[in-house]
Amino acid sequence: MSDTSPILPEGAKVVICIRGLRNAFGEEGEQQQVIHDKLDLDVKRGEILGVVGGSGTGKSVLMRSIIGLQTPEDGEIEVLGENMIGREEDEAKNIRRRWGILFQNGALFSTLTVAENVEVPLREYFHLSPTLMDEIAGYKIAMAGLPADAAPKFPSELSGGMVKRAGLARALALDPELLFLDEPTAGLDPIAAQNFDELILSLRDKLDLTVFLITHDLDTLYAICDRVAVLADKKVVAVGTIEQLLALDHPWIQEYFNGPRGRAAAAA
């Protein structure tokens, strides 16, 4: 199917472009586990792209490839106009500062407070006074919807929803153009998940972000994703609005969106 969506402006700029991606684990041969083969994907500027697929289809490996934590066996990856494969560390560092990442469990440093966690990326790139650092951290913490008194708390003192928001505050530390979210609503109760969805949507609009969002959460897909990319058979088998995906004959897509949970999310 076409990967153009009626929601996106005609000719929207592509900020992530993947061509012919191959990822595999283990020695070449019969034992080798091929995760991606000839995978292509475009993510367009300003969109929230949901990435779905069965467990183990390689959603996280795809994200890790894009952000440079996994070296692909083959293929091309361009992010924000920069080739990501085989870059020198200092070049890669300059590109990395243009995105923020929220890992599945928040990935906060347990020995640092929320404010100190948010300051980690700031320290990596800037030499700022402690007062300015605290001010910026406080601003990001507020942006992520946390109360100011969360700043001096340690991750162990936070609820699951607050941990996600603290991780989001850290992801926003460097004013990113691009946000990667790996299952942001996993483990949240439905109200917290809905609030988090609304936060992502409002941040996208206010900060002009592009969002790459891995999720199993059908409610999130319906509520905030402009387009959805489906991983199956080692590839992105389809990209489009949910309506466009529903028109396809692919068995996994039909089962996912037309199963009882899919229908409930559509009706919500």
Residues that bind ligand ATP (CB under 6 A): 25, 35, 53, 55-61
Give me the half-sphere count of Cα atoms (radius 13 Å) on the Cβ side of residue 253. 22
Among 85, 80, 52, residue whose Cα is nearest residue 178: 80
Nearer to ligand ATP, 58 or 240 (CB): 58
Closest distance between ligand ATP and the C-beta of residue 61, in Å?
4
Check: CB of residue 3 under 8 Å from CB of residue 239. Answer: yes
Which one, 58 or 161, has the nearer CB to ligand ATP?
58
CB of 100 to ligand ATP, least distance (A): 19
Count CB neighbours of 28 within 10 A.
9
Nearer to ligand ATP, 60 or 210 (CB): 60
> CB within 8 A of 220, min separation 6: which ones?
50, 184, 185, 193, 197, 213
Minimum CB distance to ligand ATP smaller for 34 or for 142: 34
* Neighbouring-strand partners of residue 180: 101, 212
Q: Which residues contact 81 (CB under 8 A, 6 or more apart)?
A: 15
Q: Which is nearer to ligand ATP, 61 or 151 (CB)?
A: 61
As measured in angstroms, the least distance from the Cβ of 59 to ligand ATP is: 4
Query: CB 41 → ligand ATP: shortest distance, Å?
Result: 14
- CB of 65 within 8 A of CB of 135? no
For the bound state, the minimum distance from the C-beta of residue 60 to ligand ATP, rounded and expressed in Å, comes to: 3
